[in-house]
A and B are shown apart, each in its own frame.
Chain A
Amino acid sequence: QVQLQQWGAGLLKPSETLSLTCAVYGGSFSGYYWSWIRQPPGKGLEWIGEINHSGSTNYNPSLKSRVTISVDTSKNQFSLKLSSVTAADTAVYYCARGNFRLFGVDPYYYYYMDVWGKGTTVTVSS
């Protein structure tokens, strides 16, 4: 059974860089889109971005200038960096395994995140 274990600094000052890592245990690393999602206190989920095993990335346009997602296939890990953080970046950050594919003759794409990390609370405060 695939499990995601995430870690990183939980308290940052404004202008610092958020850095989180997610390790994948118990499953294949290839064929998936490894994703980051965040949730500010009392608010909904926000998709941050994703990376596949070969390093191809997609980022939320609203965060693109500050986000970098990288992958280390030798360790089955992927990481998130978010630069120049402000209080608005205070949130619970989740890593997740994304699936994005066609199935059989169905013309619709399947896209879903079936395995999630437990979340890391990141607070930005001076």
Chain B
Amino acid sequence: SSELTQDPAVSVALGQTVRITCQGDSLRSYYASWYQQKPGQAPVLVIYGKNNRPSGIPDRFSGSSSGNTASLTITGAQAEDEADYYCNSRDSSGNHGVFGGGTKLTVL
């Protein structure tokens, strides 16, 4: 079982805003990072830290955190944002990495 919990699936209408959440006790000490994965491809980091985007990631992606919950927000979702999204952090001991179960985002 994962120490990070995500909703299995979320949908959003094209151009609308969607929030994907990740819950876990360790998020009170460690920021979550977020990865986008499209079929047959390696994961791509989209958000890390407080709210940091790697070079090349559109600014419609943003992150936030409150208590034991981290959120990835896509403002103005595009068709190309349809993918699986995973959160990642450390476990409560800090000694191991851990992934959430993933959220499948459908853009309608």
Q: Which residues of A contact B (CB under 8 A)?
A: 35, 37, 44-47, 50, 58-61, 94, 98-100, 103, 106, 108-114, 116-119
Contact = CB atoms under 8 A, between A and B. Distances in A.
B33 A58 contact: no
11 contacts: A45-B43, A45-B102, A47-B99, A58-B95, A61-B96, A106-B50, A108-B29, A109-B90, A109-B94, A110-B31, A116-B43
Contacts of A46: 99
A44 B102 contact: yes
A103 to B, nearest CB: 7
Contacts of A99: 48
Nearest to B99: A45
B86 A114 contact: no
A35 B97 contact: yes
Interface residues of B, number: 30
B68 to A, nearest CB: 12
Interface string B44-69: 11001110001000000000010000
A22 to B, nearest CB: 12
Contacts of A106: 50
A112 B33 contact: yes
A110 B101 contact: no
B96 A60 contact: yes
Interface in B1-55: 2, 29-31, 33, 35, 37, 42-45, 48-50, 54
Given A47-B96, A58-B95, A103-B49, A113 B101 contact: no
B54 A47 contact: no
A112 B96 contact: no
Contacts of A50: 97
Contacts of B35: 45, 113
B71 interface: no
Nearest to B42: A116
B64 to A, nearest CB: 12
